[in-house]
Amino acid sequence: MSSTPAPDRPEVDVPDVAPHGFRDAPPGAGVDRYTDQDLAWEPCGEHECADIAVPLDWADPDGQAITLSMRRVAATQQPRRGTIFLNPGGPGSSGKEMVEYFSHAGLEHYDLIGWDPRGVGDSTPVRCLDGAEMDEFLTVDASPDDEAEDAALEEAARGFGQRCLERSGPLLAHVSTTATVQDLDLLRGLVGDERLNYLGYSYGTEIGAVYAATFPDRVGRLVLDSAVSLADDSDVTQAEGFERALESFAEWCAEGDCDLGDDRDEVIQAVTGLLRHLDHQPLQVHDRELTQTLAVSGILMPLYGTKDWYPILADAVSAARSGRGQALLELADAYNERDIDGNYGSLMTAFNAIRCNSHVDLGLAGERARAKKEAEEAGALGPFMGPDLICPLWPAPVVPNPEDQTAPGAAPIMVIGARMDSATPYENAVDMADTFESGFLVTWEGDGHGTYGGTSTCVDDAVHRFFADDLPAEDIICTE
């Protein structure tokens, strides 16, 4: 896996630290030492868990090893058809946790395995900031209005990457989508499946897409739900998706009995007016402050979901406009995976490591230009998003995904897109399905991020039939 230079990334000395989960490589030599290891399942609550070794660097299989951790829910019906690997997205979310609550209904002939990808959770984790440091980092204005604020954001982004390097050491450069795909293929072989069966959401669709591009002849049944963009310049598209969701919320609010405005424009002005106010006067919430940056996160959290979240968002915005920021801050904490004790989940650290390692960034100047474009083109929320300066200053090289993403010769690949998905706009699913030689599209004519699993009976049925080898003759459109 060769790396790609990025214009502003610093050259660094990698500290000699050993994150939790560093281990000796299994006996043997080369990649065989990993493919020949035993997979030992042990009781883990109601299910089974196992840890395996994978090489820190797949180009150096005789070097340092790290740990991958997974949980299995065994098939409940015979004949057993194999394993479906699950990934919830992020990047940085835990598949090991996901499989605990994931419904087995319709998939009973398969084992379900959720694993924590490298850098995440119970696998060898990336370490960056502790809870107090993350609180401080999130107080920095993410959408700077002047040179001083821009300089503060750049300093915070540089410091974030430096802390990750200091605490994660050599792991940091080896947490990428391409490395995760190599890990996933090892897992496939260790469970005895000739082909990969997989269900991934959001960023999990990137894992599935890169797997198909890398190992097209090993594709079994791949379901990619809420597709990300396979291009490196997808942020404006996502911002536009959130703008559509905000407009939908505003229309709902204006037609209902919420107190934010009598028409769509008034509601949007109430939301953006609150954000502008918080830029200068944050709200005190106990020993914390609701800043503009945290309020944006709090607003985005419900916009990820279905319209069932709209009353919660309306109440939180209304309360904040009256000087009570508790509800909106709680939504921001949920978005950032912060618990009541001030601890953050792996999403807040692994997210940046994986995305920065996997995608070529625009450099500082290019990223600031992109943010300016976003502010101009992405509607009411665009000006509050700001530039992403973490990746241009990331202290590790890029290991890019394959250029050819058509997956020639792969078995049919199902891509699911919701027409009103804000986080991963529907256009991404259309593009991904078209990119694959064997891709086909399932459209949910509704909202929400992540459709399979109770949102649409039509989508659920299509997925169940697909895993039962009932292949559709054409794209599917679901309305219920």
Q: Tokens 């978005």 belong to which residue? A: 335
Residue 96 lies in a domain: no
State residue 28's pLDDT score.
96
Residue 43 lies in a domain: no
* Residue 232 pLDDT exceeds 70: no
Q: pLDDT tens for residues 54-110?
A: 999 999 999 999 999 999 999 999 999 999 999 999 999 999 999 999 999 999 999
Residue 271 lies in a domain: yes
Q: pLDDT tens for residues 156-205?
A: 999 999 999 999 999 999 999 999 999 999 999 999 999 999 999 999 99
Residue 240 lies in a domain: yes
Helix, strand, or coil here: 354? helix
Residue 34 lies in a domain: no
* d(C-alpha 134, C-alpha 42), whole Å: 35
Q: How many domains does the chain have?
A: 1
Residue 327 lies in a domain: yes
Partnered with residue 440 across adjacent β-strands are 414
| Under 8 Å between Cβ of 177 and 207 | yes
* d(C-alpha 246, C-alpha 179), whole Å: 36
What φ, ψ does residue 261 adopt, rounded to 5°? 160, 160
pLDDT range class, residue 233, cuts 50, 70, 90 = low
CB within 8 A of 46, min separation 6: which ones? none
Q: pLDDT tens for residues 238-271?
A: 788 899 999 999 999 999 989 999 999 999 999 9
> Whole domain around residue 252: which residue ranges?
235-335
Q: By CB neighbour count within 10 A (0-12 exposed, 13-18 middle, 19+ buried), where does 380 fall? A: middle
Residue 305 lies in a domain: yes
- Cα–Cα nearest to 31, from 58, 65, 1, 53: 58
Could you say which DSSP state residue 128 is in? -
Residue 359 lies in a domain: no
